[in-house]
Amino acid sequence: MSRQNPTPADLGLHADCGSCFGLCCVALPFSASAGFAVDKDAGTPCTNLLADFSCGIHAQLREKGFSGCTVFDCFGAGQKVSQLTFGGRDWRQEPQRSGRMFSAFAVMRQLHELLWYLADALTRPAAGPVHADLRRALRDTDELTRGDADQVAAIDVAAVRQDVNTLLVRTSELVRAEVGGRTENHRGADLIGASMRGARLRGATLRGALLIAADLRGADLRSADVIGADFRDTDLRGADLTDVLFLTQAQVNAAKGDGTTTIPAGLDRPAHW
């Protein structure tokens, strides 16, 4: 890392499937009841995975019943494990390494997710009082991702997450305090299918909230904390997510939106919107 406050791009936190050995298509299990057309055990290659590690139905994933694939985001962990941890040696060439590769991938994805949140926090001027601690946590976490396969797999991710989360909570408090006035607290709330069209949620905390199929059309979510919120089929048409805290590509991909949905810079507008 050469920058004091590196961006997700600097940290390689955007998935580059062309540099990955299809790890999410092999290492992870599929459930036919959760966005996949079939059941698949962890460690078993998806039947749609081609010899060059590309997907045979990539352009038709949703039509073929694999919407879960379009939602998933590895935060760049796939190419890190494929090209750095294993030096470009894939699980087909060296099947004896597959177990170690898949175990490292599972941990790497969690570490990269934490790096995403830390990089986000460092873009917030209001979080200036904890920037030094955020930079330290980011450097330490990034260093963990650069160990060998066994070192990565042995990391106590829960402990790392706990330390990082303390800083993320403080960041959230500092940023949302700038909104002023009373802000909504929906932390961990069950809002499945809730009618919240046009809701004023600026500076709200929606940490871990269940927003599955909720109606948030035209809602004001600016500076809201959405870390861990479940956005599956959440209707975000016309919603304003400018400067939302800790929003990920996976959350955006899981939701429903349109051309009038405002999303933060650095995130892509899904093709299905």
**Residue 3 placed within a domain:** no
Q: What is the DSSP string of 88-154?
A: T--TTT-GGGHHHHHHHHHHHHHHHHHHHHHHHHTT-GGGGGGHHHHHHHHHHHHHHTTS-HHHHHT
Task: Name which of 5, 26, 186, 190 is nearest 99 in CA terms.
Answer: 26
**Residue 246 placed within a domain:** yes
Q: What is the span of the domain harbouring residue 234?
A: 182-273
Are 23 and 134 members of one domain? yes
**Residue 110 placed within a domain:** yes
So what's the pLDDT on residue 182? 86
**Residue 41 placed within a domain:** no
Amino acid at 233: D
Read off the CATH number of the domain in which 266 is found.
Answer: 2.160.20.80
Three-state DSSP class for 40?
Answer: strand
CA 35 to centroid of chain Cα atoms: 17
Are 168 and 207 members of one domain? no
So what's the pLDDT on residue 1? 58
Are 22 and 133 members of one domain? yes
Are 247 and 209 members of one domain? yes
Q: What is the count of structural domains for the chain?
A: 2
Which among 175, 201, 232 is the end of a domain? 175
Are 141 and 213 members of one domain? no
Are 249 and 167 members of one domain? no
Q: Which residues pair with 256 in a beta bridge?
A: 235
Three-state DSSP class for 27?
Answer: coil
Confidence of residue 180 (pLDDT cuts 50, 70, 90): confident
- Residue 252 tokens read as 């955006």
**Residue 254 placed within a domain:** yes
**Residue 12 placed within a domain:** no
Q: 157: which DSSP letter?
A: H
**Residue 160 placed within a domain:** yes
Rounded Cα distance between 124 and 92, Å, is 43
Cβ pair 103, 151 in contact under 8 A:
no
**Residue 131 placed within a domain:** yes
Are 161 and 186 members of one domain? no
Rounded Cα distance between 231 and 103, Å, is 27
3-state SS of 231-254 is: CCCCECCCCECCCCECCCHHHHHH
Are 119 and 155 members of one domain? yes
pLDDT one-digit tens code per residue, 60-82:
999 999 999 999 999 999 999 99
Are 157 and 198 members of one domain? no
Which among 132, 159, 175 is the end of a domain? 175
On the question of pLDDT at 196 being above 90, the answer is yes
pLDDT one-digit tens code per residue, 24-72:
999 999 988 778 999 999 999 999 999 999 999 999 999 999 999 999 9
pTM (two decimals): 0.94
Which among 128, 143, 175 is the end of a domain? 175
Are 221 and 158 members of one domain? no
Amino acid at 242: T
Are 197 and 86 members of one domain? no
Cα→Cα distances 178→10, 121, 219, 222, 245, Å: 28, 15, 19, 12, 13
Are 160 and 103 members of one domain? yes
- Residue 265 tokens read as 């810079």
Rounded Cα distance between 104 and 84, Å, is 11
